[in-house]
Structure 1
Amino acid sequence: MSGTVQNPYDPRSILRRAKSGWLHALMVPLALLWLSPMIWIVVTSLKTKKEVFDPDAGFLPAVLNFANYPSTLSVAPFGTYLINSVLVTGSILTAQMVTITLAAYAFARLEFPGKKLLFTLFLLQIMFPIYAIFLTNFITVRELGLVNSLPAMIVPFVASGYGTFMLRQSFKQVPSELSDAARLDGCGHLGILWHVYLPLVQPTLIAFGIISVVTHWNDYMWPLLVTNSDHVRTLPIGLGLLAKSDSGADWTRLMAGTTIVVSPLLLAFLIFQRRFVDSFMHSGVK
């Protein structure tokens, strides 16, 4: 069986290559621009203090100074901070996935008194900036006796109006015929939710999961407000401690600490990037 050989001088082939070339020429500088802050952080973390402020020093360090990393870890218990960040972020994500899934299903497919009013209240939560409710959240956490504990950083975020709204919109796009067929097969609400809806809205769940993890992994103000001891603090607060100094911030150790903080997120993305991309590419109701 002979195949058709494409003529490299065909005008359509030349046009496709030209478009591809222009696309790469545009995307490569944008990618470098996006990566430039991270490159600067890593390079600075490998310099000496003198090189950072020396105008005659080049962009790259003369000698790679890896001593900044153990020095950074000795300033604060970053191991404890890392464990706390993982526990807090993971707990919030797990709780939010459960609450937004159940709430979104109820708002999308169930009928009950006060449904529109309750959903409006969920939408109002999105409109308020998080800093506007810090005081009320702090009073609630204090009354529950949770100040200076890991639950204090978790409890205010177990529900998400934004996540509920996103998932509700995705649920409403699923044809009702699928849930009707599952109901005829004997599935209840939880069975329909698990076997019909959740497999079809994976991209939305992944998108919200990324937003939630990045937001709470990098959260600084709320953990700082409700904690006052090292054994319950998180990684961003550790960076704040590095920035506090009578002689100013120690930039080499601060950049080393920043690299430590962002590395778990970058590593997780590199490991699961194929899963993220495949989920978005193969999504859709069939």
Structure 2
Amino acid sequence: MKRTPLAHVAHAVDTALAWTVGILWLLPLVYAIWTAFHPPAYATHFDLSAPLSLDNFRRAWIAAPFARYFLNTIVLVTVIVSAQIVLCTMAAFALARLEFRGRDVLFALILLQLMIAPEILAVVNYRTMKMLGAVDTLWGIALPYLTSAFGIFLLRQTFKTVPKELEEAARIEGCGTFGVLWRVYVPAARPIYVAYGLVQVSYHWNNFLWPLIITNSVETRPLTVGLSVFSSVDQGIDWSVITAATLMTAGPLLGAFLIFQRQFVQSFMRAGIR
């Protein structure tokens, strides 16, 4: 179909807006890359003849125990996302397919939790972790996030779209409740799991406020909290080292996105269609 002049104008406007947003998003990243790979003297101005250097990354790695920060972050993300997928799957299946008293009330309470910002619960969660003796531990960071109201809601809505005939056929073949869940419902929700997992990995990799509140020592800090050592008022701010440390922190996620961007987009599209 041939486009009308108005459609051409709308397309041109959309394209211009997309380029504008893209450039605005890229500018801080370009500045961070430039500053991280050049000596501090070139942090405030661009000079194409400036020499490339990895010294800022070496200084950043020495200035803080990044190996420990990376290990803590990887452990936290792995434990939290794995626990969320398992617990949210079982809760969503129960709310979608099992009949029990108070099911609708329980689901309403879960939806209510979605309306509460995590920051509001920081004080209560801290007092709870203190009672459990989990302050300044990796478990103290992970425990409040081991399940997710959003994950339960998302998977419940997906499970409710699965035809009951598939469940009945699986039971005829001899599957129990967990067999039905594993062989019927989980495969049907695979795009949802991928999309949800990507969102949660990104969120918990970059989570800052709660780890900052609950940790006191270097041994338990994740990457985001560890970055704060580079902004010490006493030592001044060295933007070259800060940007190098920031790139080391964001690099794994950015690299994963660039490599698997097609799978990322397809997962979110399939999740949206459902």
User: TM-score range, shorter-chain basis?
Assistant: 0.7 to 0.9
Once the 2 structures are TM-superposed, how far is the Cα of residue 136 of structure 1 from its aligned partner?
A: 1.3
Relative distance call for 1:200 and 1:194 in structure 2 (3 A) is same
Residue segments in structure 2 that go unaligned for 5+ positions in a row: 4-9
The one of 35, 49, 64 equivalent to 1:44 is: 35
In structure 2, distance between residues paired with 1:245 and 1:49: 18
Task: Specify the alignment match of 2:110 in structure 1.
Answer: 122
Alignment of 1:243 onto 2:234? no
Structure 2 contact 122–210 (Cα < 8 Å) conserved: yes
Relative distance call for 1:235 and 1:86 in structure 2 (3 A) is same
CA RMSD of aligned residues (A): 2.8
Q: Equivalences for 1:234-273 in 2 at 5 Å?
A: 234-246=222-234, 248-273=236-261
The one of 81, 85, 92 equivalent to 1:93 is: 81
Once the 2 structures are TM-superposed, how far is the Cα of residue 47 of structure 1 from its aligned partner?
A: 3.0
With 239-248 and 269-278 compared, the bigger mean Cα shift is at 269-278
Once the 2 structures are TM-superposed, how far is the Cα of residue 49 of structure 1 from its aligned partner?
A: 2.7
TM-score, structure 1 normalization: 0.84
Relative distance call for 1:61 and 1:234 in structure 2 (3 A) is farther
Q: How many residues align?
A: 271
Larger radius of gyration: 1
Task: Specify the alignment match of 1:6 in structure 2.
Answer: none
In structure 2, distance between residues paired with 1:235 and 1:182: 45
Task: Specify the alignment match of 1:3 in structure 2.
Answer: none
Structure 1 contact 43–61 (Cα < 8 Å) conserved: no
Structure 1 contact 200–283 (Cα < 8 Å) conserved: no
Q: Equivalences for 1:68-79 in 2 at 5 Å?
A: 68-79=56-67
TM-score, structure 2 normalization: 0.88
Task: Specify the alignment match of 2:131 in structure 1.
Answer: 143
Once the 2 structures are TM-superposed, how far is the Cα of residue 94 of structure 1 from its aligned partner?
A: 0.3
With 267-276 and 204-213 compared, the bigger mean Cα shift is at 267-276
Q: Secondary structure at the match of 1:64?
A: coil
Q: Equivalences for 1:178-257 in 2 at 5 Å?
A: 178-246=166-234, 248-257=236-245
Relative distance call for 1:141 and 1:35 in structure 2 (3 A) is same
The one of 155, 158, 179 equivalent to 1:167 is: 155
- Write out per-residue CA displacement over residues 24-78 of structure 1, whole angstroms, 9 at most, x where no aligned residue: 777555444433322221112123333324xxx3265712232100001111101
- Give the AA of the match of 2:52: L
In structure 1, distance between residues paired with 2:25 and 2:137: 36
Once the 2 structures are TM-superposed, how far is the Cα of residue 124 of structure 1 from its aligned partner?
A: 1.4
Q: Equivalences for 1:270-285 in 2 at 5 Å?
A: 270-279=258-267
Residue segments in structure 1 that go unaligned for 5+ positions in a row: 1-9, 13-18
Q: Secondary structure at the match of 2:52?
A: coil
With 220-229 and 273-282 compared, the bigger mean Cα shift is at 273-282
